[in-house]
Structure 1
């Protein structure tokens, strides 16, 4: 199928192009520009009326959405519900995230993800296993008795997924030397998170291939004058990425501004850490048998412990502009191009350019989502058909 989107204000990932036309051929962008003739064989022409067409958002940390928690529903149907819930907020690619849980739940999650990948479920790029190989000292809301040392046969499970990306968050100081290298050699992306290590622990992890820090500042050792900790190691290392939760609750805006200034440009990416309440009318859900409440945009246990976030990517982009004072362009890159590059997909996602996958978001002037396309499919039209 060939589609022409006309009269768009296009953000390519680098610059804005007014009055642009985008030609989509099946799943791929065929042409972008201001003086493009609409092909005779085009199936659909749509005038976007000067709305903003930007690269689709990519979220590498999504625990739930649409009333579903991945930990509670490790099925292809559950994954579909989560992806659909976030699509309305501009997320066209995601890593549904399983937090610390028992081995059978992990097995079921990987199996469900393989089915979703095999079935080309729109927006599913792979899986994020956040735990269970963490440090109990920095457990956050993760259940302490489920946190454990890595099993002898864990490598097979962690590297089992085919055709999609796997991200594993672990505490480097709690895992045997060499395990990060083995995971990376098997194609797994490895992040540090829920970690209480020292600066030297992360230097050793970098040498093995550690490439990311999960929700920077949260559940990790802070930067101190004599011990830089996880935060100091992350900001000091040019080649690693950091996920940032910009919701006004997890990290103070001034702290985030300073971190972004310190880190090499292109290495900070927005994540939501979203829970089941996103895209749902629910104001609570269950995790590990306890109720988690969403109040005024903040997810906590009854005791007030932060438990993920009630945050979507469109709001995260707006918060990055409003709370942190970054340009809209940079906020958009933090939600699209930079996570695409982290996942090794920077040559196919994160830009609106010829040859890239046609995964895009249509925004109004207020930054609210009007429509999304995933690999050339207009998801608004798909929703109407279903």
Structure 2
């Protein structure tokens, strides 16, 4: 099916106020600036015209545990569909199914439930295994009963559950027993290895980067902070070459000024927006669980009964709004942090992440407040608020 959209196009470096986009058979077939491109076609009859708002690439969330009442650790195909449909309504067209620290058999069941689930809503691009190879001191909302040393043998059993095109992303603490061997093994298998839930010093993170760490999970949260004589995990994340970072831009996990520091120090092209959403995303306040632990959601914050943060109820839609309204980023930069940069981090830049010919027709129509009006996945309308 051929589809035409006319309106303001959000590109990685600018907004084209008067643009035209064509897609067919699930791919973008044309992108034009109607005011600058001499060869732009006439707007065809039947084109959808976005008069107030924007046309944007679909968002990609590399760190999301749940939403719509489901959690990937439920190991239930119906829960998987609840998550992918919930987040698609809020602009996510691709995501990594993210697990928590748990017994190996529970992780395997979660991977298998994802594979068995009907394909509906946001596309599952692979897996993010957050834990169990973390530092107990910075466990956050991870269940301490299942924290353990890194194991290459266990990693290979995880990877054997994947599909050929799955992307793998593993969060671990570089300083724990067996971590450096695991990092080298994962990097050699093409996985993104991320430092998180860690007490690693600057030198330990540097050693991890030399072994294959290339990312840092939810920067500033659940890690050793910055000190002027010991830069710690945060200092290394902001300065070591070749490292990308992710930020939970809900205004609860990280102060807006700290987000500005990260963007200025690391460069926006190396900062990814994530939600770290748990099952309560999209549902409002109430009592929930995360990794078997009780969680209270109140006023937009999810916390264990100890008061520790337990993931978030953020959506990518709200995260982009916050990057613009709270952090002061321009619209193309904020959208790229939710689309192009995650696509590049996953090695999917040729297919996803921006409005360009040949890429998947994963598109959003946003109103002038950046709320999602329409989500298009593979050229087909999945959600339309209108």
In the superposition, the TM-score normalised over structure 1's length comes to 0.92
Separation in 1, partners of 2:357, 2:53: 20
Match of 1:300 in 2: 303
Specify every segment of 5 or more residues in structure 2 that has no aligned partner in the other structure, as ranges.
35-39
Cα shift at 1:368: 0.8
Residues 8 and 15 of structure 2 are in contact (CA less than 8 Å); yes or no, is this contact kept in structure 1?
yes
Match of 1:360 in 2: 363
Cα offsets for 1:340-379 (capped at 9, x unmatched): 1111111211110111111111100111110111121211
Match of 2:37 in 1: none
Match of 1:158 in 2: 158
Match of 2:41 in 1: 36
Paired residues for 1:1-386 under 5 Å: 1-5=1-5, 7-33=6-32, 34=34, 35-37=40-42, 45-71=47-73, 73-116=74-117, 122-151=122-151, 153-160=153-160, 161-162=162-163, 163-176=165-178, 177-281=180-284, 283-380=286-383
> CA 1:188–1:120 in 2, change beyond 3 Å: closer, same or farther?
farther
Separation in 2, partners of 1:380, 1:315: 17
Cα shift at 1:228: 0.9
Residues 92 and 122 of structure 2 are in contact (CA less than 8 Å); yes or no, is this contact kept in structure 1?
no
Residues 60 and 93 of structure 2 are in contact (CA less than 8 Å); yes or no, is this contact kept in structure 1?
yes
Q: Judge which range, 15-24 or 184-193, deviates more.
A: 15-24
Cα offsets for 1:139-158 (capped at 9, x unmatched): 01111111011235213123
Cα shift at 1:288: 4.1
Separation in 1, partners of 2:152, 2:340: 36
Cα offsets for 1:189-220 (capped at 9, x unmatched): 11000001111111111112211100001011
Separation in 2, partners of 1:254, 1:322: 12
Specify every segment of 5 or more residues in structure 1 that has no aligned partner in the other structure, as ranges.
none
Cα offsets for 1:299-342 (capped at 9, x unmatched): 01222111011111111111112221111221111111111111
- The number of residues matched between the two structures is 377
> CA 1:274–1:122 in 2, change beyond 3 Å: closer, same or farther?
closer
What SS class does the counterpart of residue 124 from structure 1 fall into? strand
Residues 152 and 182 of structure 2 are in contact (CA less than 8 Å); yes or no, is this contact kept in structure 1?
no
Residues 238 and 264 of structure 1 are in contact (CA less than 8 Å); yes or no, is this contact kept in structure 2?
no
Cα offsets for 1:147-180 (capped at 9, x unmatched): 0112352131232312211111000111423221
Cα shift at 1:112: 2.3
Separation in 1, partners of 2:130, 2:209: 18
What SS class does the counterpart of residue 383 from structure 2 fall into? helix
> CA 1:281–1:295 in 2, change beyond 3 Å: closer, same or farther?
closer
In the superposition, the TM-score normalised over structure 2's length comes to 0.92
Residues 116 and 124 of structure 1 are in contact (CA less than 8 Å); yes or no, is this contact kept in structure 2?
no
What SS class does the counterpart of residue 213 from structure 2 fall into? coil
Cα shift at 1:185: 1.2
Q: Judge which range, 357-366 or 28-37, deviates more.
A: 28-37
Separation in 1, partners of 2:175, 2:30: 48
